[in-house]
A and B are shown apart, each in its own frame.
Chain A
Amino acid sequence: MKTTVIGAYPKISDEHQELRRALHRLDRGEIDQAGLASVYRATTAWAIREMEEIGVDVVNDGHIAWDDLLAPFAAGWRSCERGPLERFYDNNTYFRQPVITGALEGDGHALVAPFLEAKSIAKHTLKAAVCGPLTFATLTAADRGYGSLEARTLAVAELIAREVWGLKEHGATLVDVEEPALAAHPELVGLARRAYERLAEAGVDLAIYPYFFAADPILEELATFPVAQVGLDLRSRPTRALERLSVLKDKTVVLGIVDARNTAIETPRELADVIEKAIGQVSYDRLWFSPTTGLEYLPHDVAVRKLSALVSAARATKGVPA
């Protein structure tokens, strides 16, 4: 039974605003890209240390250098541009929609350097992350390279598979695939499975996270995906998934039990109730706990309290003193 995080960590706090200032200074021409990169490194180190000090077992790099979930890929691949601004699902957070101008190309190294940087900092197990192919394909604003959503999704999957290969070659053993589009569009589950078969060819453990929406309509299908872990958002919308965890058979189930999009801190009793229900259906060694989504939707101080509540609840379950 482990604790982990998903996606982006808050990039600044009330006290720690170096990155915000550095980006302003870059805009004013007071620092160059190398100067900004050093601030990204320092901020990533700050985020990883915080997660580790709170006691999160498996951490990520906090996506500190990611402008949004799609940005490293839209910016890093050839024949792709970052296009119009759009709201990211039901959040008051915005992203640049990709614009595909031709056949996509990428060398699988979009994430390697930041991953190695984070690896040199992390003392706990570090996992990597990529954007889900269905999410990237469905959020694309314009596509002049492929004739259909199906063709675009599978092409994006090929490139993301290359990124997963690249991460594996540099030591990644677990890669999160953030895939809100799958829960938003359960009717596309068949297409998504084909895309994940390509991702799985890299031979590294994948964890799929269809967050923001209830995964109830796709729960059985998720059990057939070639992934090692399935993450479930139990707070964003009403869901009965917690009562049906046994359908996930041999998957490790990562339960999003603290709401990363609301400031109310879950009580120990609330968390214990959820964990108890899960333990009845999934063995200890296949049960992890996480926030529902990335913590960047919360102010930093609340994100810290949420993670602390998560870690405390997991430790209490294991009988470890807080």
Chain B
Amino acid sequence: MNDVLPTTTVGSFGKPEYLQKARNAASRGKASARELEDLERQATAEWIRRQEEVGLDILVDGEMYRGDMVAYFAERLDGFRIGGLVRSYGNRYYHKPVIAAKVARPKPMTVDWFRFAQDLTDRPVKGMLTGPYTMLDWSYNEAYRTRRDAALALAEVIRQEAEDLERAGARYIQIDEPAVHARPEEIEIAIEAMGVVTQNLRARTISHICYGDFAAIYPKVLELPVDQLDLAMSNYEYRWLALFDAHPFTKELAIGVVDVHSHRLETVDEAAEGIRRGLRYVLPEKLLPHPDCGLKTRTVEESLDKCRVVVEAARKVRAEVARRAVA
């Protein structure tokens, strides 16, 4: 693994066509859960192999078994029911969950998938969870009197899952909070809830944040009790970096250097320039290039191409850093 500018991804990859067809068939009752799971494992193994081939340093399982980052957990937690379809943008819809009663975790939700993926590679695979504030914000709350009550209840079940992942060998645990800036006035709730999740963890902890007004929560978001913040930057033309001039960034920074919502493939030089911008604020050992967000909206080929650009750009800048060190 590269100690300087280690590369990674945010979590999801494009699903292969055979898996998309199987998921559609399963939703119509025309494929069994066992048949679907076999294909999900096949696709996960393919993505582990592809990530190794591309040269990424810290891997993910690719979330072949998940549709949506909140609904996946909501379907496995007591207290939730899955609501009807709601549009997120364009022609994309999702089943927005409803917190209908007090939440509880009947059993681990991601640990088997983590073990399966980690057993396929010597490189570290991240344990991937959705944070309590985002679980709350992207669900309807009918059960808890206040949003803080709901966030803290969710934090408790996510803490249980995170600690199980650590016991299973996860050295990196990512607890995504893309909604953390949805209501800047509630950032204290998000920080308090994340503290519940990470309080006992020794694994390296990460939180991914994307698509929103990051400026509205900076520098307060530095109090989020995780080691690394994982930020969409390319989509914003790196404007959030200017915030670090007034208030230095104090964590590891996973920096998004390719846009996941564009079919256009960035050049290696464009991505390399993004990494160089990040290096003005963060040491090379603490800067992790990656795509802006999960790649699930891209095809397998597009996902791979974007990852290749990230890896090649990191390689290029790594060489520059090494030359400077020698000089």
Contacts and interface: CB of A to CB of B under 8 A. Distances in A.
Contacts of A12: 85, 87, 93
Contacts of B183: 90
B235 to A, nearest CB: 5
Given A90-B137, A263-B142, A264-B142, A299 B96 contact: yes
B261 to A, nearest CB: 5
Given A90-B182, A262-B142, A85 B235 contact: yes
B85 A299 contact: yes
Contact of B84 (A68, A87, A90, A299): A299
The CB with the most chain B CB atoms within 10 A, among A87, A94, A264, A301, is that of: A87
Contact of A263 (B89, B140, B182): B140
Contact of A297 (B86, B90, B259): B86
Interface string B2-22: 000000000000000000000
B179 interface: yes
Given A20-B91, A262-B140, A86 B211 contact: yes
Nearest to B81: A263
Interface in B118-144: 137-138, 140-142
Interface string A254-282: 00000000111000000000000000000
A94 B83 contact: no
Nearest to B185: A237
Given A263-B142, A299-B83, A302-B84, A87 B93 contact: no
Interface string A68-91: 100000000000000011110111
Interface size class of B (residues with CB under 8 A): 20 to 34
Closest 9 CB pairs of A and B: A299-B84, A94-B89, A263-B140, A90-B182, A23-B91, A264-B142, A92-B138, A87-B212, A87-B211
A145 to B, nearest CB: 18
A18 to B, nearest CB: 12
The CB with the most chain B CB atoms within 10 A, among A95, A262, A299, is that of: A299
A11 interface: yes
Given A299-B83, A299-B86, A92 B93 contact: no
Contact of A301 (B84, B140, B141): B84
A23 B91 CA distance: 7
20 contacts: A13-B85, A20-B91, A27-B91, A67-B90, A84-B235, A85-B89, A86-B211, A87-B212, A90-B137, A92-B96, A92-B138, A92-B179, A93-B88, A94-B211, A95-B89, A262-B142, A264-B141, A297-B86, A300-B84, A300-B85
B309 interface: no
A53 interface: no
A30 interface: no
Contacts of B138: 92
Contacts of A95: 89
Contacts of B141: 262, 264
B98 interface: yes
B89 A24 contact: no
The CB with the most chain B CB atoms within 10 A, among A13, A14, A87, A92, is that of: A92
Contacts of A10: 86-87
B99 to A, nearest CB: 10
Contacts of A86: 211-212
Given A68-B89, A299-B84, 6 more contacts: A12-B93, A85-B235, A90-B182, A94-B89, A262-B140, A263-B83
Interface of A: 10-14, 20, 23-24, 27, 67-68, 84-87, 89-95, 262-264, 296-302
A84 B212 CA distance: 12
Interface string B81-123: 0011111111101001010000000000000000000000000
A85 B234 CA distance: 12
Contacts of A300: 84-85
Contacts of A302: 83-84
Contacts of A301: 84
Contact of A85 (B91, B142, B182, B211): B211
A14 B138 CA distance: 20
A93 B83 CA distance: 16
Contacts of A299: 83-86, 96
B182 A298 contact: no
A27 B90 CA distance: 12
A148 to B, nearest CB: 18
B84 A93 contact: no
B87 A11 contact: yes
A67 B89 CA distance: 7
Given A85-B261, A86-B211, A90-B137, A298 B86 contact: yes
Interface string B162-193: 00000000000000000100110000000000
Contacts of A262: 140-142
Contacts of A23: 90-91
A60 B223 CA distance: 45
B84 A296 contact: no
A20 B86 CA distance: 12
A245 to B, nearest CB: 25
Contacts of B86: 10, 93, 296-299
Contacts of B91: 20, 23-24, 27
B10 to A, nearest CB: 15
B169 to A, nearest CB: 32
A85 B179 CA distance: 15
